[in-house]
Amino acid sequence: MQKSFDVSGPAEIELRLAAGEITVDAALEGRVEIELTAEDEESQRLIDEATIELREHSGRPQVIVDVPNKRGFNLAGMFGRQGITCRVSCPADSGLNAKTKSADATVRGTLGGLNVQTASGDVEADRVSGGANVKNASGDVSIREVEALNVQTASGDVDIQVARGPVNVNSASGDVTIGEAYDNVNVNTVSGDQDHGAVMRGNVAAHTVSGDVSIAVRRGSKVFLDCNTVSGDTRSELELSGDVPNGDGPLVEIRAKTVSGDIRITRAPAPSDSTQGVHA
């Protein structure tokens, strides 16, 4: 099934697909294209009953893609992740709101906003110029660059290369990796490790029970450290002090706490030329 809608500017994509694969290309001008492909007869019957339509929502075009989930069928077990493939092409800065059970979601280009609710599907995106909200059980989350981020997961890993705005991540056993953070960061894990590659300013709260915590502070930033562990080791290349430091440069306040995990505080390397102007 294929449908195309002419739009003026970014659109909102509302997508419901229980299992399969979702791919989004956010680089098409003036149009939204939807393609649903079935891998078997039962999947085709679901596509035949699907709803794909254009609506107006708050003065912005909204494209609805709703593939029914038949009662009595375990789609994830029957089809795996290949039952139905949904391909979406839309203008840059469009928003994606997706609900799925086990479908993976892959986004190329720039989205204006990303909201995904899934049980075991992975989420991968190039760039989100607005906020990204992901709630899943065991799927991984990987985003190259995001403005603001909120993730709730049980066992999925979270990998963010660049976070321009505030970050909030809650995970049980998944590992959390944040390459560069320019704003407040709040990460809570139980057994997952945390790796903060370069923090610049704001408040950084890294709490875990048995996972290890590694935080690197960008050179030029002032640092306030409050690190505590019960049975783990704490190592720091920076002086541990309970006083807020004086001097120029942005202030980053780090509060890292573990029960049995290790804490390591280091200095991050200098920023690359492409991001030099963003760092204070």
Query: What tokens does 213 get?
Result: 């915590």
The answer as to whether 123 is a domain residue is no
Mean pLDDT of 260-270: 91
Mean pLDDT of 167-180: 96
User: Does residue 219 surpass a pLDDT of 90?
Assistant: no
In the chain, the number of structural domains is 2
Average pLDDT, the chain: 89
The answer as to whether 249 is a domain residue is yes
Q: Are residues 166 and 266 in the same domain?
A: yes
Q: Are residues 2 and 97 in the same domain?
A: yes
Q: Are residues 168 and 95 in the same domain?
A: no
Range of the domain at 181: 157-270
Summarised one tens digit per residue, pLDDT across range 25-83 is 999 999 999 999 998 888 899 999 999 999 998 889 999 999 988 654 444 444 444 48
Q: Are residues 180 and 73 in the same domain?
A: no
Q: Are residues 84 and 176 in the same domain?
A: no
The one-letter amino acid at 204: V
Q: In 3D, which of 268, 196, 262 has the Cα closest to residue 235?
A: 262
Mean pLDDT of 223-235: 92
Is residue 169 within 8 A of residue 182, CB to CB? The reply is no
The answer as to whether 261 is a domain residue is yes
Can you spell out the DSSP letters for 216-259?
Answer: EEETT-EEEEEEEESSS-EEESS---SSPP-SSS-EEEEEEEES
Is residue 110 within 8 A of residue 87, CB to CB? The reply is no
Q: Are residues 79 and 173 in the same domain?
A: no
Mean pLDDT of 89-118: 96
Q: Are residues 79 and 162 in the same domain?
A: no
The answer as to whether 242 is a domain residue is yes
Mean pLDDT of 207-229: 93
Q: Which residues pair with 256 in a beta bridge?
A: 206, 227
Q: Are residues 163 and 93 in the same domain?
A: no
Q: How far apart are CA 207 and CA 256, in angstroms?
A: 6
Instruction: Say which residues have a Cβ less than 8 Å from residue 179's Cβ, sequence separation at least 6.
Output: 160, 161, 162, 197, 198
Q: Worst-scoring range by mean pLDDT, 14-28, 41-55, 75-89, 128-142? A: 75-89
Query: What tokens does 40 get?
Result: 């078997």
Query: What tokens does 172 get?
Result: 């049980």
The answer as to whether 9 is a domain residue is yes
The answer as to whether 208 is a domain residue is yes
The answer as to whether 218 is a domain residue is yes
The answer as to whether 18 is a domain residue is yes
Q: In 3D, which of 8, 28, 105 has the Cα closest to residue 65?
A: 105
Q: In 3D, which of 133, 135, 138, 131 has the Cα closest to residue 150?
A: 133
Question: What H or E segment, with its residue span, contains residue 42?
Answer: helix 41-48
Is residue 128 within 8 A of residue 109, CB to CB? The reply is no
Q: Are residues 102 and 190 in the same domain?
A: no
Report pTM.
0.88
Question: Following CA atoms 235, 238, 242, 245 in sequence, which dihedral angle do they give, to the nearest 10 degrees?
Answer: -170
